[in-house]
Amino acid sequence: MNYSYWELKEWFTNIDFTIVGSGIVGLNCALELKKNDPKAKILILEKGMLPQGASTKNAGFACFGSLSEIIDDLNSHTKEEVFNLVNQRWKGVQLLRTNLGDENIDFQQNKGFELCKDQAFFEECISQKEEINQRLKPIFKADVFSISDNNFSFQKVHQQYIVNNFEGQIDTGKMAAELLLKVQKLGVKIVNNISVDGFVETGNQIEVKTDKITFKTTKLFIATNGFASQLLQENVQPARAQVLITKPIKNLHIKGTFHLDKGYYYFRNIDNRILFGGGRNLDFRTEETTEFGETAIIQNELEKILKETILPNTNFEIEHRWSGIMGVGNQKKAIVKQVSENVFCGVRLGGMGIAIGSLVGKELAELLK
Protein backbone atom coordinates (compact mmCIF):
# COMPACT_ATOMS: atom_id res chain seq x y z
CA MET A 1 0.00 0.00 0.00
CA ASN A 2 1.22 3.49 -0.81
CA TYR A 3 0.86 5.96 2.03
CA SER A 4 -0.30 9.49 1.32
CA TYR A 5 1.87 12.57 1.50
CA TRP A 6 0.00 13.59 4.65
CA GLU A 7 0.54 10.25 6.37
CA LEU A 8 4.23 10.14 5.55
CA LYS A 9 4.77 13.75 6.59
CA GLU A 10 2.87 13.56 9.87
CA TRP A 11 3.86 10.10 11.13
CA PHE A 12 7.07 8.95 9.44
CA THR A 13 9.17 12.03 8.61
CA ASN A 14 11.75 13.92 10.73
CA ILE A 15 11.37 11.55 13.66
CA ASP A 16 13.70 12.25 16.57
CA PHE A 17 12.98 9.22 18.71
CA THR A 18 11.33 5.93 17.81
CA ILE A 19 10.32 3.53 20.60
CA VAL A 20 9.53 -0.11 19.90
CA GLY A 21 6.88 -1.33 22.35
CA SER A 22 3.97 0.57 23.93
CA GLY A 23 4.11 -1.19 27.28
CA ILE A 24 4.99 0.33 30.61
CA VAL A 25 8.69 0.75 29.71
CA GLY A 26 8.12 2.25 26.28
CA LEU A 27 5.48 4.70 27.49
CA ASN A 28 7.56 5.82 30.46
CA CYS A 29 10.53 6.26 28.15
CA ALA A 30 8.38 8.56 25.98
CA LEU A 31 7.26 10.55 29.03
CA GLU A 32 10.85 11.16 30.11
CA LEU A 33 12.04 11.99 26.58
CA LYS A 34 9.25 14.58 26.25
CA LYS A 35 10.10 15.99 29.68
CA ASN A 36 13.73 16.46 28.63
CA ASP A 37 12.95 17.60 25.07
CA PRO A 38 9.35 18.91 24.76
CA LYS A 39 9.69 19.66 21.04
CA ALA A 40 10.95 16.20 20.10
CA LYS A 41 8.95 14.22 17.56
CA ILE A 42 8.39 10.79 19.13
CA LEU A 43 6.87 7.74 17.49
CA ILE A 44 5.95 4.52 19.33
CA LEU A 45 5.50 1.32 17.33
CA GLU A 46 3.36 -1.46 18.80
CA LYS A 47 2.87 -4.81 17.08
CA GLY A 48 -0.39 -5.55 18.90
CA MET A 49 -3.80 -3.95 18.82
CA LEU A 50 -3.03 -3.27 22.51
CA PRO A 51 0.36 -3.52 24.28
CA GLN A 52 1.40 -7.02 23.26
CA GLY A 53 3.74 -8.31 25.97
CA ALA A 54 3.02 -8.42 29.69
CA SER A 55 2.07 -4.82 30.51
CA THR A 56 -1.68 -5.37 30.08
CA LYS A 57 -1.67 -9.10 30.83
CA ASN A 58 -0.07 -9.27 34.28
CA ALA A 59 -1.77 -9.84 37.63
CA GLY A 60 -1.37 -6.25 38.83
CA PHE A 61 0.92 -6.95 41.78
CA ALA A 62 2.75 -3.89 43.08
CA CYS A 63 5.32 -6.15 44.71
CA PHE A 64 9.07 -6.34 45.25
CA GLY A 65 9.54 -9.97 46.30
CA SER A 66 8.11 -12.35 48.87
CA LEU A 67 10.34 -13.57 51.71
CA SER A 68 11.07 -16.90 50.00
CA GLU A 69 11.79 -15.14 46.69
CA ILE A 70 14.32 -12.87 48.38
CA ILE A 71 15.90 -15.87 50.13
CA ASP A 72 16.04 -17.66 46.78
CA ASP A 73 17.64 -14.63 45.11
CA LEU A 74 20.34 -14.61 47.80
CA ASN A 75 21.44 -18.02 46.50
CA SER A 76 22.30 -16.57 43.08
CA HIS A 77 23.04 -12.91 43.85
CA THR A 78 25.12 -11.06 46.41
CA LYS A 79 23.43 -9.45 49.40
CA GLU A 80 24.14 -6.03 47.91
CA GLU A 81 22.57 -7.03 44.59
CA VAL A 82 19.43 -8.31 46.30
CA PHE A 83 19.17 -5.15 48.42
CA ASN A 84 19.52 -3.03 45.27
CA LEU A 85 16.89 -5.12 43.46
CA VAL A 86 14.34 -4.56 46.24
CA ASN A 87 15.26 -0.87 46.43
CA GLN A 88 14.78 -0.40 42.67
CA ARG A 89 11.44 -2.20 42.74
CA TRP A 90 10.19 -0.08 45.64
CA LYS A 91 11.36 3.14 43.98
CA GLY A 92 9.67 2.02 40.76
CA VAL A 93 6.32 1.45 42.48
CA GLN A 94 6.50 4.92 44.03
CA LEU A 95 7.34 6.46 40.64
CA LEU A 96 4.36 4.69 39.08
CA ARG A 97 2.07 6.04 41.80
CA THR A 98 3.50 9.56 41.50
CA ASN A 99 3.23 9.63 37.70
CA LEU A 100 -0.33 8.35 37.44
CA GLY A 101 -1.97 8.85 40.84
CA ASP A 102 -3.30 6.13 43.14
CA GLU A 103 -6.94 6.69 42.20
CA ASN A 104 -6.25 6.45 38.46
CA ILE A 105 -4.63 3.02 38.83
CA ASP A 106 -6.79 1.84 41.74
CA PHE A 107 -3.73 1.33 43.92
CA GLN A 108 -4.52 -0.51 47.17
CA GLN A 109 -2.10 -1.60 49.84
CA ASN A 110 -3.90 -4.67 51.18
CA LYS A 111 -0.61 -6.41 52.05
CA GLY A 112 0.93 -9.51 50.53
CA PHE A 113 0.69 -13.01 51.97
CA GLU A 114 2.98 -15.95 51.35
CA LEU A 115 1.49 -19.40 51.77
CA CYS A 116 3.93 -22.15 52.74
CA LYS A 117 3.42 -25.75 51.65
CA ASP A 118 4.44 -27.18 55.04
CA GLN A 119 5.89 -26.30 58.43
CA ALA A 120 9.46 -27.13 57.38
CA PHE A 121 9.37 -24.60 54.54
CA PHE A 122 7.69 -22.03 56.80
CA GLU A 123 10.39 -22.41 59.44
CA GLU A 124 13.14 -22.25 56.82
CA CYS A 125 11.83 -18.87 55.69
CA ILE A 126 11.15 -17.55 59.18
CA SER A 127 14.69 -18.40 60.27
CA GLN A 128 15.94 -15.63 57.97
CA LYS A 129 13.09 -13.16 58.51
CA GLU A 130 14.80 -10.98 61.13
CA GLU A 131 18.05 -10.66 59.20
CA ILE A 132 16.23 -9.71 55.98
CA ASN A 133 14.00 -7.25 57.85
CA GLN A 134 17.11 -5.56 59.23
CA ARG A 135 18.72 -5.40 55.80
CA LEU A 136 15.58 -3.85 54.28
CA LYS A 137 14.99 -1.36 57.10
CA PRO A 138 17.02 1.43 55.39
CA ILE A 139 14.50 1.28 52.52
CA PHE A 140 11.21 0.86 54.39
CA LYS A 141 12.05 2.29 57.85
CA ALA A 142 10.06 -0.57 59.40
CA ASP A 143 9.83 -4.36 59.38
CA VAL A 144 8.65 -5.61 56.00
CA PHE A 145 7.82 -9.20 56.95
CA SER A 146 5.72 -10.48 59.83
CA ILE A 147 3.68 -13.60 60.66
CA SER A 148 -0.10 -14.04 60.73
CA ASP A 149 -2.54 -16.89 61.25
CA ASN A 150 -4.42 -18.28 58.27
CA ASN A 151 -7.78 -16.53 58.59
CA PHE A 152 -8.67 -16.96 54.90
CA SER A 153 -9.50 -20.67 55.36
CA PHE A 154 -6.89 -21.85 52.88
CA GLN A 155 -6.34 -25.59 52.86
CA LYS A 156 -3.32 -27.87 52.23
CA VAL A 157 -0.90 -25.16 53.38
CA HIS A 158 0.77 -24.28 56.67
CA GLN A 159 -1.74 -22.53 58.90
CA GLN A 160 0.49 -19.53 59.47
CA TYR A 161 1.65 -17.36 56.63
CA ILE A 162 4.27 -14.68 56.07
CA VAL A 163 2.93 -11.16 55.64
CA ASN A 164 4.53 -8.50 53.45
CA ASN A 165 3.27 -5.30 55.05
CA PHE A 166 4.19 -3.06 52.11
CA GLU A 167 2.85 -5.00 49.14
CA GLY A 168 0.07 -3.49 47.04
CA GLN A 169 -2.08 -4.11 43.99
CA ILE A 170 -3.30 -2.08 41.03
CA ASP A 171 -5.81 -2.31 38.19
CA THR A 172 -3.53 -3.13 35.25
CA GLY A 173 -6.02 -1.97 32.62
CA LYS A 174 -6.49 1.41 34.28
CA MET A 175 -2.72 1.82 34.57
CA ALA A 176 -2.15 1.17 30.86
CA ALA A 177 -5.05 3.40 29.79
CA GLU A 178 -3.83 6.26 32.01
CA LEU A 179 -0.27 5.94 30.70
CA LEU A 180 -1.44 5.93 27.09
CA LEU A 181 -3.61 8.99 27.72
CA LYS A 182 -0.80 10.87 29.41
CA VAL A 183 1.68 10.14 26.62
CA GLN A 184 -0.73 11.02 23.82
CA LYS A 185 -1.64 14.30 25.49
CA LEU A 186 2.02 15.27 25.12
CA GLY A 187 1.82 14.74 21.37
CA VAL A 188 3.54 11.37 21.18
CA LYS A 189 2.24 9.33 18.24
CA ILE A 190 1.48 5.63 18.66
CA VAL A 191 1.02 3.29 15.70
CA ASN A 192 -0.49 -0.11 16.50
CA ASN A 193 -0.52 -3.39 14.57
CA ILE A 194 2.93 -2.76 13.13
CA SER A 195 5.88 -5.14 13.62
CA VAL A 196 9.51 -4.11 13.49
CA ASP A 197 11.43 -6.63 11.39
CA GLY A 198 14.85 -5.06 11.87
CA PHE A 199 16.92 -1.89 11.68
CA VAL A 200 20.11 -0.64 10.02
CA GLU A 201 22.34 2.10 11.38
CA THR A 202 23.42 4.44 8.59
CA GLY A 203 25.57 7.33 9.75
CA ASN A 204 23.60 9.48 12.19
CA GLN A 205 20.30 7.80 11.45
CA ILE A 206 18.56 4.46 11.89
CA GLU A 207 16.58 2.90 9.08
CA VAL A 208 13.69 1.05 10.70
CA LYS A 209 12.19 -1.79 8.68
CA THR A 210 8.64 -2.84 9.57
CA ASP A 211 6.03 -5.10 7.99
CA LYS A 212 4.18 -1.97 6.85
CA ILE A 213 6.77 0.69 6.00
CA THR A 214 10.48 1.55 6.13
CA PHE A 215 11.45 4.94 7.57
CA LYS A 216 14.32 6.77 9.28
CA THR A 217 14.75 7.97 12.85
CA THR A 218 17.54 9.71 14.76
CA LYS A 219 17.45 7.44 17.83
CA LEU A 220 15.88 4.03 18.43
CA PHE A 221 14.73 2.70 21.82
CA ILE A 222 13.83 -0.97 22.13
CA ALA A 223 11.39 -1.74 24.96
CA THR A 224 10.03 -5.13 23.95
CA ASN A 225 11.09 -7.09 27.08
CA GLY A 226 10.21 -10.76 26.44
CA PHE A 227 10.42 -10.25 22.67
CA ALA A 228 13.84 -8.57 22.85
CA SER A 229 15.71 -11.49 21.27
CA GLN A 230 13.86 -10.85 18.02
CA LEU A 231 15.76 -7.57 17.62
CA LEU A 232 18.75 -7.74 19.97
CA GLN A 233 21.60 -10.05 20.94
CA GLU A 234 21.01 -9.74 24.68
CA ASN A 235 20.61 -12.30 27.47
CA VAL A 236 16.81 -12.25 27.55
CA GLN A 237 14.64 -15.36 27.40
CA PRO A 238 10.89 -15.21 26.90
CA ALA A 239 8.80 -16.69 29.71
CA ARG A 240 5.09 -17.20 29.23
CA ALA A 241 2.81 -16.70 32.23
CA GLN A 242 -0.66 -18.23 32.15
CA VAL A 243 -3.56 -16.68 34.05
CA LEU A 244 -7.22 -17.36 34.74
CA ILE A 245 -9.99 -15.42 36.44
CA THR A 246 -13.24 -16.57 38.03
CA LYS A 247 -16.70 -15.19 37.60
CA PRO A 248 -17.80 -12.91 40.50
CA ILE A 249 -18.08 -14.79 43.80
CA LYS A 250 -20.65 -13.76 46.38
CA ASN A 251 -19.27 -12.73 49.78
CA LEU A 252 -15.66 -13.24 48.70
CA HIS A 253 -13.60 -12.76 51.87
CA ILE A 254 -10.14 -13.00 50.27
CA LYS A 255 -8.41 -9.63 50.05
CA GLY A 256 -4.78 -8.96 49.19
CA THR A 257 -2.04 -10.39 47.02
CA PHE A 258 -0.91 -13.97 47.65
CA HIS A 259 2.20 -15.96 46.75
CA LEU A 260 2.66 -19.72 46.74
CA ASP A 261 5.66 -21.94 45.96
CA LYS A 262 8.38 -19.23 45.89
CA GLY A 263 6.14 -16.96 43.84
CA TYR A 264 5.64 -19.42 40.97
CA TYR A 265 1.92 -19.21 41.79
CA TYR A 266 0.15 -15.96 42.65
CA PHE A 267 -3.43 -14.85 43.16
CA ARG A 268 -5.45 -11.85 44.28
CA ASN A 269 -8.94 -10.43 44.60
CA ILE A 270 -10.31 -8.12 41.91
CA ASP A 271 -13.97 -7.11 41.39
CA ASN A 272 -15.20 -9.93 43.69
CA ARG A 273 -13.24 -12.45 41.63
CA ILE A 274 -10.06 -14.44 42.10
CA LEU A 275 -7.35 -13.85 39.53
CA PHE A 276 -4.84 -16.70 39.61
CA GLY A 277 -1.68 -17.22 37.59
CA GLY A 278 1.64 -19.01 37.40
CA GLY A 279 2.76 -22.61 37.14
CA ARG A 280 5.45 -22.23 34.50
CA ASN A 281 7.74 -24.23 36.80
CA LEU A 282 5.66 -27.27 35.81
CA ASP A 283 7.00 -27.06 32.26
CA PHE A 284 9.80 -24.51 31.93
CA ARG A 285 10.82 -25.62 28.44
CA THR A 286 7.37 -25.22 26.88
CA GLU A 287 6.87 -21.85 28.59
CA GLU A 288 10.10 -20.43 27.12
CA THR A 289 8.16 -19.09 24.16
CA THR A 290 6.93 -15.88 22.55
CA GLU A 291 3.71 -17.62 21.51
CA PHE A 292 0.58 -16.75 23.46
CA GLY A 293 -1.67 -19.57 24.60
CA GLU A 294 -2.62 -21.88 27.45
CA THR A 295 -1.65 -25.49 28.15
CA ALA A 296 -3.62 -28.23 29.86
CA ILE A 297 -0.85 -29.15 32.31
CA ILE A 298 -0.73 -25.64 33.78
CA GLN A 299 -4.42 -24.72 33.52
CA ASN A 300 -5.44 -27.99 35.17
CA GLU A 301 -3.03 -27.38 38.05
CA LEU A 302 -4.28 -23.81 38.50
CA GLU A 303 -7.85 -25.10 38.73
CA LYS A 304 -6.81 -27.86 41.15
CA ILE A 305 -5.06 -25.42 43.51
CA LEU A 306 -7.97 -23.02 43.21
CA LYS A 307 -10.44 -25.75 44.19
CA GLU A 308 -8.39 -27.55 46.86
CA THR A 309 -6.38 -24.73 48.47
CA ILE A 310 -7.79 -21.27 47.72
CA LEU A 311 -11.57 -21.82 47.48
CA PRO A 312 -12.07 -25.29 49.03
CA ASN A 313 -15.61 -24.64 50.28
CA THR A 314 -16.78 -22.23 47.59
CA ASN A 315 -18.49 -22.85 44.29
CA PHE A 316 -16.84 -20.95 41.44
CA GLU A 317 -16.67 -20.85 37.67
CA ILE A 318 -13.75 -19.88 35.45
CA GLU A 319 -14.74 -17.01 33.17
CA HIS A 320 -11.59 -16.26 31.21
CA ARG A 321 -8.00 -17.43 30.58
CA TRP A 322 -5.04 -15.68 28.98
CA SER A 323 -1.26 -15.48 28.90
CA GLY A 324 1.48 -12.85 28.82
CA ILE A 325 5.14 -12.94 27.79
CA MET A 326 7.77 -11.86 30.32
CA GLY A 327 11.50 -11.36 29.77
CA VAL A 328 13.84 -13.22 32.15
CA GLY A 329 17.50 -14.22 32.43
CA ASN A 330 20.06 -15.67 34.80
CA GLN A 331 20.28 -12.29 36.53
CA LYS A 332 17.32 -10.40 37.97
CA LYS A 333 18.65 -6.93 37.13
CA ALA A 334 17.03 -5.33 34.08
CA ILE A 335 19.17 -4.59 31.02
CA VAL A 336 19.20 -0.83 30.41
CA LYS A 337 22.02 0.06 28.07
CA GLN A 338 23.26 1.78 24.94
CA VAL A 339 23.49 -0.91 22.26
CA SER A 340 25.23 1.21 19.62
CA GLU A 341 25.70 4.86 18.71
CA ASN A 342 21.99 5.53 18.23
CA VAL A 343 20.26 2.42 19.59
CA PHE A 344 19.26 1.84 23.23
CA CYS A 345 17.32 -0.86 25.08
CA GLY A 346 15.41 -1.40 28.33
CA VAL A 347 14.49 -5.08 28.63
CA ARG A 348 14.50 -8.18 30.90
CA LEU A 349 12.16 -7.04 33.66
CA GLY A 350 12.05 -10.51 35.22
CA GLY A 351 8.32 -10.56 35.92
CA MET A 352 8.53 -7.31 37.89
CA GLY A 353 7.18 -4.94 35.23
CA ILE A 354 4.67 -3.19 37.49
CA ALA A 355 7.39 -2.57 40.07
CA ILE A 356 10.29 -1.50 37.86
CA GLY A 357 8.76 -0.66 34.47
CA SER A 358 8.37 3.06 35.20
CA LEU A 359 11.93 3.31 36.48
CA VAL A 360 13.41 1.30 33.60
CA GLY A 361 11.59 3.53 31.10
CA LYS A 362 12.92 6.65 32.82
CA GLU A 363 16.46 5.27 32.93
CA LEU A 364 16.24 4.26 29.27
CA ALA A 365 15.45 7.83 28.26
CA GLU A 366 18.17 9.19 30.51
CA LEU A 367 20.81 7.25 28.57
CA LEU A 368 20.75 10.20 26.16
CA LYS A 369 22.08 12.59 28.80
What pLDDT is stored for residue 70 in this prediction? 95
Residue 54: closest CA among 349, 358, 360, 359: 349
29 lies in the same domain as 155: no
Question: Final residue of a domain: which of 168, 190, 207?
Answer: 168
91 within some domain:
no
84 within some domain:
no
45 lies in the same domain as 124: no
Decide if 22 contacts 174 (C-beta within 8 A). no
How many structural domains comprise the chain?
Answer: 3
72 lies in the same domain as 163: yes
What pLDDT is stored for residue 282 in this prediction? 97
What pLDDT is stored for residue 203 in this prediction? 86
pTM over the 0.75 mark: yes
293 within some domain:
yes
What pLDDT is stored for residue 22 in this prediction? 98
pLDDT surpassing 80 at residue 369: no
43 lies in the same domain as 68: no
226 lies in the same domain as 336: yes
pLDDT surpassing 80 at residue 303: yes
163 lies in the same domain as 310: no
**What b-and-e string marks burial along 85-124, b requiring 16 or more CB atoms within 10 Å of the CB?**
bbebbbbbbebbbebbeeebbebbeebbbbbbeeeebbee
261 lies in the same domain as 357: no
264 lies in the same domain as 324: yes
245 within some domain:
yes
What pLDDT is stored for residue 149 in this prediction? 86
Question: Final residue of a domain: which of 168, 185, 212?
Answer: 168
Question: Final residue of a domain: which of 124, 139, 168?
Answer: 168
279 within some domain:
yes
Query: Which structural domain range is residue 289 located in?
Result: 237-328
98 within some domain:
no
26 lies in the same domain as 157: no
Helix%, strand%, coil% for the chain, nearest 5: 35, 25, 40
What pLDDT is stored for residue 8 in this prediction? 97
306 lies in the same domain as 335: no
152 lies in the same domain as 301: no
pLDDT surpassing 90 at residue 321: yes
Residue 259: closest CA among 22, 89, 67, 99: 67
Decide if 355 contacts 62 (C-beta within 8 A). yes
83 within some domain:
no
71 lies in the same domain as 152: yes
Q: What does the mean pLDDT of the chain come to?
A: 96
